[in-house]
Amino acid sequence: MQKPYVIDEMISAKSIAARLEELCREIHDEFQGTDKLVVVGLLRGSFVFIADLVRELDLPIEVDFLEASSYGDGMESSREVRILKDLRGAIEGRDVLVVEDIVDTGHTLHHVTGLLKSREPARLKTIALLDKPSRREVDMKADWTGFEIPDEFVVGYGIDFAQRNRNLPYIGKVRFT
């Protein structure tokens, strides 16, 4: 049984939208003139963020998805990341933007960017809505970050707690009661 908890709002839907506008201006500056930008969402957590992001981008884009699963080996802190669902399209010679909801230990984004770089895209950039730098285990930082947050258990705007609460329109903090 899940321990009872409440969710306190941490970042409002309005603040997210305002920050997203700022970030999209910078993304436009970076990719202005691209013939096509492949926007890659990392499932499942990024599905809300990528939906809002692409609707704010006035660039020729293609949307693709990749699903990775990270897990500890149960003994050491070494982490292994498996690809559960790969991209549909080729990215060689393409401009690519990887979209992640949150960077925590950094293993997921580190592994995925390593994999995608080996496919020789023209440009590979990353954006994460949230960053928890205090939890980092590998040297990894997204090119654009929405908000740096402390080490709190967050949910909403795509992010789950045991697969729940992804549909909240804001970022909330889990508090056990």
Residues contributing to the site for Mn ion (CB under 5 A): 45
Assign 64 to helix, strand or coil: strand
Nearest to 30 by CA among 112, 107, 99, 97: 97
**CB of 122 vs Mn ion, minimal distance in Å:** 25
- Reference 124, options 102, 156, 95, 82; nearest CA is 95
- The one among 160, 161, 170, 174 contacting ligand PRP by CB under 6 A: 160
Sign of CA dihedral 171, 17, 13, 10: positive
- Residue 13 or 81: the one with the smaller Cβ distance to Mn ion is 81
Choose the stretch contacting ligand PRP; rule: CB under 6 A; options: 9-17, 18-26, 87-95, 97-105: 97-105
Stretch that binds Mg ion, among 72-80, 104-112, 121-129, 159-167 (CB under 5 A): 159-167
User: Quick check: 132 and 74 in contact, CB under 8 A?
Assistant: no
- Minimum CB separation of residue 163 from Mg ion in Å reads 7
Q: Are 70 and 107 spatial neighbours (Cβ–Cβ below 8 Å)?
A: yes
Q: Mark out the alpha helices in 81-145 (DSSP H runs).
A: 107-117
Annotated catalytic residue 86: no
Total of chain residues touching ligand PRP, rule CB under 6 A: 15
Q: Which of 64, 86, 101, 104 is catalytic?
A: 104
Q: Interface residues with ligand PRP (CB under 6 A)?
A: 42-45, 70, 100-108, 160
Active site residues: 104
